Structure formats: structure tokens, C-alpha cells
Amino acid sequence: MTAIAPNGSQGGIRMWPSEATATWLYDTANIALIVALVTGAVATALIVWMGNVKEEYLKKELAQTTERAANANERAAQLENDAAQARLEQEQLKTKLAWRRVTSEQHDKIVAMLRGHPMTVALVYSNEPESMLFANDVSKTLKDSGINVVGTMAIGTELIFGLRISKMKPPHSADWLLLVSAFSNADLAFNLAESAEGLKIIIGSKPPPF
């Protein structure tokens, strides 16, 4: 039997690609795979790195936003405190400038102490609207207590401020002590005037607020 020498084909069929081409494609594919793997590793590293950097920027921005919000809240609180202080000062000023009146609570306290103790009280007041209105409140309160009130308008050049109750000479009468106690118990501010023979209440001008 005679042997058949190989001629690059099998059974008359030529193989494709050639060995040289197959070798080149194999090497090229390996190189491409290596490049792809390296590229993927670099990309992964960059993603992780840049993700951390981005997170740090976000944390910084969040901290700045939180700080700005805290400063804004602090400023808002300060403005609210300033507004509250301004309202308080405004109310205090209105109270200082308001005309004097006998409140219903003061009226009831005085009436409760003086009712059932008849006496006569002279009421003298300044000739100006605020004092006359306040004197009317005092007069009504005393009359509601059953006290005889003799009212006269003050005539003279002396300028008198505030509410005064005449200071009786010792020994103090029971009526005087009761009258002074009633006004004190009602928190109706007064000073003691010069001594007088009878019970006298003097209502001068409202003291200056400042």
C-alpha cells in the first residue's frame, strides 16, 4: 500500500482559516481580552474613586446647607425675640401713656372693705380731663361703698401729681385706717398728703411717664 502525503487538505476539503491566520486571530483576541479586562478594572477603580469623591462633595454641600439652615433659624428666632421685645415695650409705653382708671377688680376690692362703714370723704381733683375722669371713677367706687363723697375741683397755682390721701394726725381714726387699707389692698397707688382735719382724697395730674 502506498502512503498519501498531507497537502493541507483533508479528504479534498481545505481548512479555514489558515494556521497563520488562526494564530494571529488568537493572539489578537487574547490581547483584546487583556485590554478589556484592564480597561474594566480601571473603569471600576475610577467609578469607586469618583463615587467617593462625589459623596464627599455631597456631604460638604449637605453640611453647608445644614449650617445655612441653622443660621437662618437662629436669625429667625432672634427676629422673633426682637419683635416680642418691641411689642412688650410698646405695651409698656401704652400703659404709661394710658389714662388712669379704677378697674373693676379694684372697684370690687374697695367696695368689699368699705361697705357697711359709713363716712364722709372730701374729693379734690385737678381741672384737666384725665384727672377728672379718674376722680369720677374714685367717686363712683366710694359711693358704691355707701360713703358720702363731697367733690370739689382744685383751684390754685400749685401743680399736684398722683393720688393722695390726707394724713390724719395721731391718734389715727378707724375710718382713715380703713380707707388707706382699702386703697392699698386694691393696689391703687397713692401717697399721703399733708395733714387734714377730715378725710380727704386729692387727685392731681398723672405723673410724667419718663
pLDDT at residue 156, rounded to an integer = 63
Bigger pLDDT: 73 or 8?
Answer: 73
Q: Confidence band (pLDDT; 50, 70, 90) for 152?
A: confident
Burial tier of 180 (Cβ tally within 10 Å: 0-12, 13-18, 19+): middle
pLDDT at residue 1, rounded to an integer = 47
* Average pLDDT of the segment spanning 102-130: 94
Measured distance CA(49)–CA(65) in Å, rounded? 24
Q: Confidence band (pLDDT; 50, 70, 90) for 11?
A: low
Measured distance CA(206)–CA(193) in Å, rounded? 16
Pairing state between β 191-195 and 163-167: parallel
Q: Give yes or no for a cis peptide into 17 (omega within 30° of 0).
A: yes
Q: Answer yes or no: is pLDDT of 131 > 60.
A: yes
Bigger pLDDT: 63 or 104?
Answer: 104
Bigger pLDDT: 106 or 53?
Answer: 106
Q: Convert the pLDDT of each residue in 166-188 to its tens digit.
A: 887 666 688 999 999 999 999 99
Q: Confidence band (pLDDT; 50, 70, 90) for 25?
A: confident
Bigger pLDDT: 46 or 153?
Answer: 46
